[in-house]
Amino acid sequence: MIGPAAVALRVRDLHKAFKDVVAVDGIELEVRSGECFGLLGPNGAGKTTTIEICEGLTAPDSGDVEVLGLRWGTDTSALRHRLGIQLQETQLSDKLTVLETLQLFRSFYGQGPQAEEVIARVQLDEKRDARVVGLSGGQKQRLALACALVGEPDLLFLDEPTTGLDPQARRQLWELIEEFKRAGRTIVLTTHYMEEAERLSDRIAIMDRGKVIARGTPAELISSIGADHLIEFSVEDGGELLDLEAVRRIEGVRDLRSVNGVVRLQTLELHRVVPALLEELSRQVVRLTELRTHSATLEDVFVSLTGRHLRDE
Amino acid sequence: MNSRPATFSGVLAHPLTQLTLVRIREFTREPEAVFWAIFFPILLAAGLGIAFRGGPGEILSVTTSSPTLAQAMRAEPGLDVMETTRDAGLEALRNGRAALYAEQDGGGSALYRFDDTNPDGRMARLQPTGWYASRARATSTFWFPAWLAWAS
């Protein structure tokens, strides 16, 4: 049990529906001060709705949200001064320069570093006097992050901060977020990139269809599926001739699934299962068209929980 | 709470100042907006001014039955004065050939008759100046047959 002071965000039994679509269906969350909490889930899982309710941008249908010990409605003004928010997509004024944009956002907060200081922190010094319209996607996201940081927030909400960015820009942004984390600040992050959640988050809640289906540290979640390795293979003719039951009986195989002609199986003993699998396939006279193995990731946790991939729409 | 840094402080750091500055910057950095909002109305006014520049004043036809009035009105450069009988003058006024008919009433002052619906009539009424104008009485003549019959 953790004391109330150590909890930056507490969400209890949160519900939100848009007409007949249930976006959030009874979510419970507890984010501790100083940690980076990741909400991982596919598009449409309700991550953004949940985070928007926590940010005070959307009103919940029911449920209780406590942010930094305060509540939306009664302490709205005080809360706004203490939160930093980076939305999924930020449309800043194209005509303003980076410095002018940050000075504008800085003026909204009673505390915080100088605009120039934040520009340096997000490595946009060269673009200080460049107009927003001329920035690349990654630079725009870093500017949006700078706008979230300029009020020296106690709690930072990042809603899919790296969606649509190239790998290099993504890594750059991750480094900035890690730096903020090292400064002991609390971060709530949503993402549908498992690498992102795995790298940045101390704890993760996996969401699907408005519900939290698993939670824990990345390591806990990965070990929860009880397999270190995953094997994926597909065979000729879409696997019509394949006897899956025989494959399932191979010693060391756990949780076998066949999705769209691709067979996925989990195992702890890769070195023994792969030769046995190849032997079984040649016995069945089925030709392999693809064979892959990899260590278990959060994606596999999601697949084993829902039978779907994170990126499935 | 309000410890604003020295270089970005006071009025400049106020949200209202910043929002105002942002609006001004956004406006001035959009050349189309500046053109349409500031230069276009000036150009339009200048263009229309040149196109409809006032030429020499229009000469208005007026009639009168009084030689004295005719003489006085001839001093006005904008009037084409025709001396005629009262009937012919009213007739010309009715069919629009003359903008005004002037006559002298019994008391020696001028009486101007003009058609209230004809802009030229009002103009002509304004033209006669000087001695007669100060003593003039104006009567507008509507295109209303019964009234005209009574007036004549």
Express each pLDDT in B73-104 by its tens digit: 888 877 888 888 888 888 888 888 888 888 88
Whole-number Å distance between alpha carbons of A57 and A99: 26
- Residue B137 has a pLDDT of 54
Measured between CB atoms, which of A100, A108, A110 is closest to B2?
A: A110
- Residue B7 has a pLDDT of 58
- For residue B30, which amino acid is it? E
DSSP string, B42-67: HHHHHHHHHHT---SPPPEEEEES-H
Residue A244 structure tokens:
């899956």
A275 and A239 in a common domain = yes
Whether the complex's predicted ipTM surpasses the cut of 0.90: no
Contacts of residue A7, Cβ cutoff 8 Å, sequence gap at least 6: A30, A31, A32, A33, A66, A69
Residues A263/A242, Cβ–Cβ less than 8 Å: yes
Which of the pair, A77 or B119, is modelled with greater confidence? A77
CB-based contact A106 B21, cutoff 8 Å: no
Size of interface A-B (CB pairs under 8 A): 37
Residue of B nearest to A95 (CA): B26
A147 and A72 in a common domain = yes
Contacts of residue B59, Cβ cutoff 8 Å, sequence gap at least 6: B78, B79, B80
Whole-number Å distance between alpha carbons of B85 and B67: 11
Measured between CB atoms, which of A95, A107, A114 is closest to B26?
A: A95
Full residue range of the structural domain in which residue A65 is found? 4-222
Handedness of CA A286, A290, A293, A299 (dihedral sign): negative
Q: Is A59 left (phi over 0), alpha (psi -120 to 50) or beta?
A: beta
The pLDDT of residue B58 is above 50: yes
A124 and A232 in a common domain = no
Q: In the Cβ-directed half-sphere of A257, how many Cα atoms lie within 13 Å?
A: 14
A119 and A22 in a common domain = yes
- Residue A312 has a pLDDT of 53
A269 and A164 in a common domain = no
A10 and A127 in a common domain = yes
- Residue B139 has a pLDDT of 55
| Closest residue by Cα to residue A305 from A193, A221, A195, A179 | A221
Residue A308 inside a domain? The answer is no
| Closest residue by Cα to residue B63 from B85, B77, B83 | B83
Residues A257/A243, Cβ–Cβ less than 8 Å: no
Residue A311 inside a domain? The answer is no
A52 and A162 in a common domain = yes
Whole-number Å distance between alpha carbons of B133 and B77: 16
Residue A302 inside a domain? The answer is no
Residue A234 inside a domain? The answer is yes
Residue A269 inside a domain? The answer is yes
Q: Which residue is associated with the tokens 């809640």?
A: A205
Residue of B nearest to A113 (CA): B5
CB-based contact B8 A93, cutoff 8 Å: no
- Residue B127 has a pLDDT of 64
Contacts of residue A44, Cβ cutoff 8 Å, sequence gap at least 6: A209, A313
β A62-67/A211-216 pair status: unpaired
- Residue B144 has a pLDDT of 40
β B79-83/B60-64 pair status: parallel
**What CATH number should be reported for the domain holding residue A154?**
3.40.50.300
Which of the pair, B150 or A117, is modelled with greater confidence? A117
For an interface test with A, the pick among B12, B25, B32 (most A C-beta atoms closer than 10 Å) comes out as B25
A37 and A128 in a common domain = yes
A178 and A70 in a common domain = yes
Specify which residues A290 forms β-bridges with. Answer: A234
**What is the SS3 assignment for B27?**
helix
Angle between helices A137-149 and A98-107 (to 10 degrees): 20
| Closest residue by Cα to residue A94 from A131, A129, A128, A126 | A131
For chain A, state the CA radius of gyration. 23
Residues A142/A123, Cβ–Cβ less than 8 Å: yes
CB-based contact A95 B14, cutoff 8 Å: no
Task: Enumerate the residues of chain A whose CB falls inside 8 A of the CB of residue B15.
Answer: 107-108
Whole-number Å distance between alpha carbons of B109 and B103: 9
A118 and A95 in a common domain = yes
Q: Delimit the domains of chain B by residue range.
A: 10-51, 60-151
Residue A17 structure tokens:
């529906």
- Residue B6 has a pLDDT of 47
**What CATH number should be reported for the domain holding residue A253?**
3.30.70.980
Alpha carbon of B43: minimum distance to chain A alpha carbons (Å): 27
CB-based contact A95 B2, cutoff 8 Å: no
Residue of A nearest to B29 (CA): A95
Residues B94/B73, Cβ–Cβ less than 8 Å: no
For an interface test with B, the pick among A99, A102, A105, A107 (most B C-beta atoms closer than 10 Å) comes out as A107
- For residue B70, which amino acid is it? A
A129 and A235 in a common domain = no
Window from A233-237, B7-11, B59-63 with minimum mean pLDDT:
B7-11
Residue of B nearest to A81 (CA): B1
Domain count for chain A, please give it.
2
Sequential pLDDT tens for chain A (313 residues): 444 458 899 999 999 999 888 999 999 999 999 899 999 888 888 888 999 999 999 999 999 999 999 999 899 999 999 999 998 888 999 999 999 999 999 999 988 898 999 999 888 999 999 999 999 888 998 899 999 999 989 999 999 888 878 888 888 889 888 988 888 889 999 988 888 888 899 999 999 889 999 899 988 888 887 777 888 888 887 777 788 888 888 888 888 888 778 888 888 888 888 899 899 888 888 888 889 888 888 888 888 888 777 665 4
Task: Enumerate the residues of chain B whose CB falls inside 8 A of the CB of residue A114.
Answer: 5, 7-8
DSSP string, A53-97: HHHTSS--SEEEEEETTB-TTTSHHHHHHHEEEE-SS----TTSB
Specify which residues A216 forms β-bridges with. Answer: A204
Residues A290/A233, Cβ–Cβ less than 8 Å: yes
- Residue B44 has a pLDDT of 95
Phi, psi (rounded to 5 degrees) for B96? 85, 0
A235 and A188 in a common domain = no
Residue A99 inside a domain? The answer is yes
